[in-house]
Amino acid sequence: MKIDKNIEERANQWLNGNYDEQTKLKVKELLENDPAELIECFYKTLEFGTGGLRGKMGVGTNRMNIYTVGAATQGLANYLKKEFAALDQIKVAIACDSRNNSDLFSQTVANIFAANGMKVYLFEALRPTPELSFAIRHLGCQSGVVVTASHNPKIYNGYKAYWNDGGQVVAPHDTNIIDEVNAIKSIDDIKWSGGESNITIIGEDIDKVYLDCVSKLSLSPDAIKQNSDMKIVYTSIHGTGITLIPRALKEVGFANVHLVKEQSEPSGEFPTVVSPNPEEVTAFKMALDLANEIDASLAIATDPDADRIGVAVRDNSGEMVILNGNQTASIVTYYILTRMKELGRLTGNEFVIKTIVTTDLIVKIADSFSVNHFDVLTGFKYIASVIKEQEGKSKFICGGEESYGFLIGDFVRDKDAISCATMVCEAAAWAATKGQSLYQLLVDIYSKYGFYKEGLLSIVKEGKSGAEQIKAIMDKMRANPLTLIDNEKVIEVKDYKTSVVLNTLTGESKAIDQLSSDVLQYTTDKGTIVSMRPSGTEPKIKFYFSVREMFDGVDKFDGANTVAAARIARIKSDFEAL
């Protein structure tokens, strides 16, 4: 296999530079024996996407290792020194998850920031991503980093960079940081050590303050007290959630929480699952088995850095069913707004946020309470950005995305599975006081606002050729826009890359008031919505499907669900053929 000249040059720089001997031996081995893998390791430099820096671990510019982490950190440090030049002391906070090499990478990050003269707050051990976001604001930091690859398989790791508002970096900072990283031509430009005295270890002191903020979100303490013995199953899937979620549930008043012991030990090998993703049924299996064994009301699972949450509840037949992210977000949004109204806390100057691929049911709920809403691009950093923009103008209540991420209150500026876990359990306790299960509450919501059913198709395309295939699919869809979806007429096409929305009935085009993003979205005359986009964090192209059905009376829900499921299946089948 012929290796591109630029790729070979990059590999030779690693062979001849001041890299450790083990790294050089691996590069040499790839050059001599595995040119295909060498190309994958060196054909590009990792860039910040919707979730920051993320990739497979290994040698090369396109892999997560101490050198790519080091270059990213030095680039970020250089940018911080420019942006905050007026400050006497720049401060950063650092955390990591349970993945292999996460502790090594986080210590590397800490050392580099410290060597650049910055005050570094380093968590003593693994901690959830939302706590890192909280710590940035609490400690008055200008930036922060959490080393994690979220829900990706064990061969991945990542690096999320945060700004002084506690949210992930957004434009123009993200591209400016990349420019600074790209300006580093040698690892000799990186300050690897020399400022260790600038590092302060943090832990329980931050845990206490953060958990106190979580507890203060509670809206129904009496309902929790009445149902404190409600059986709850929790699994951290070998991740960081085990450090805070059992404690958070206990502090708000839940006394009957059962842990999936086989998955409670943090481990980067994730030995009991193929992928530590609460969106996947297989990752939930042990929690569901335990829930059935003890007859629990609900089960909760979180991903390795505890920003995503999966929830399973009992349906009307007593079977445990896993809610999707849209359903969890809708339940929590409805519960919070209902209780705030009952408590007289809605003033007419509140808002919620969702991403453009998240269910419109949240909009319907917000409208019914006269609460404003914002639609943002996919990526929680855009939710954080709106919260920052609205500070002092309007009060943020909650917001989320279909991919199992949700945030309540503004003391964290990223998705937060800890606060969401306590609120889901509280909503279940509140429903129980009314003689309802959480599932029955969801059906009531559907009965009131309309039934929205969603589906997701992810097509994996690995490596350089995969990226090219994904681009070709998006180019094809733009060049030949759909006119029919499941025999429903397409009436609107939104192209977030060109920032144009086309009304296909009138031919009228208008601008979309959003940042540019590689997303296409179709809407039909029956309200079906299909969105497609390349993932910003994984080698995938994602298709999101949403259909709407109305039904009269909760006893008609099962029939509506069957019809909606058939519609989703037909649409999904059409897109699988792409």
**Does any domain span residue 79?**
yes
User: Are residues 524 and 404 part of one domain?
Assistant: no
pTM for this structure? 0.94
Torsion of CA 372, 376, 382, 384, to 10 degrees: 20
**Does any domain span residue 225?**
yes
Residue 401: what are its φ and ψ, rounded to 5°?
Answer: -135, 160
The reported pLDDT for the residue numbered 45 is: 83
**Does any domain span residue 56?**
no
The reported pLDDT for the residue numbered 467 is: 87
**Does any domain span residue 54?**
no
**Does any domain span residue 29?**
no
**Dist. CA 456–CA 305, nearest whole Å:** 23
- Domains in the chain: how many in total? 3
The reported pLDDT for the residue numbered 561 is: 95
Choose, from 102, 150, 220, 437, the residue flagged as catalytic: 150
Residue 98: what are its φ and ψ, rounded to 5°?
Answer: -95, 5
The reported pLDDT for the residue numbered 346 is: 98
**Does any domain span residue 16?**
no
The reported pLDDT for the residue numbered 92 is: 98
**Does any domain span residue 347?**
yes
User: Are residues 230 and 136 part of one domain?
Assistant: no
* Site of tokens 């919505």: 529
User: Are residues 220 and 148 part of one domain?
Assistant: no
**Does any domain span residue 52?**
no
Distances (CA, A) of 209 to 138, 145, 216: 9, 20, 11
Digitized pLDDT (tens) for each residue of the chain, 578 residues in all: 778 888 999 999 999 999 999 999 999 999 999 999 999 999 988 876 555 689 999 999 999 999 999 999 999 999 999 999 999 999 999 999 999 999 999 999 999 999 999 999 999 999 999 999 999 999 999 999 999 999 999 999 999 999 999 999 988 898 888 889 889 989 999 999 999 999 999 999 999 999 999 999 999 999 999 999 999 999 999 999 999 999 999 999 999 999 999 999 999 999 999 999 999 999 999 999 999 999 999 999 999 999 999 999 999 999 999 999 999 999 999 999 999 999 999 999 999 999 999 999 999 999 999 999 999 998 899 999 999 999 999 999 999 999 999 999 999 999 999 999 999 999 999 999 999 999 999 999 999 999 999 999 999 888 888 888 999 999 999 988 899 999 999 999 999 999 999 999 999 999 998 888 999 999 999 999 999 999 877 789 999 999 999 999 899 999 999 999 999 999 999 998 77
The DSSP secondary structure of 541-569, one letter per residue, reads: EEEEEEEEE--SSGGGHHHHHHHHHHHHH
The CATH number of the domain holding residue 557 is 3.30.310
The CATH number of the domain holding residue 439 is 3.40.120.10
Q: Which domain holds residue 118?
A: 63-202
User: Are residues 235 and 367 part of one domain?
Assistant: yes
Active site residue 297: no
Distances (CA, A) of 251 to 103, 146, 422: 29, 26, 10
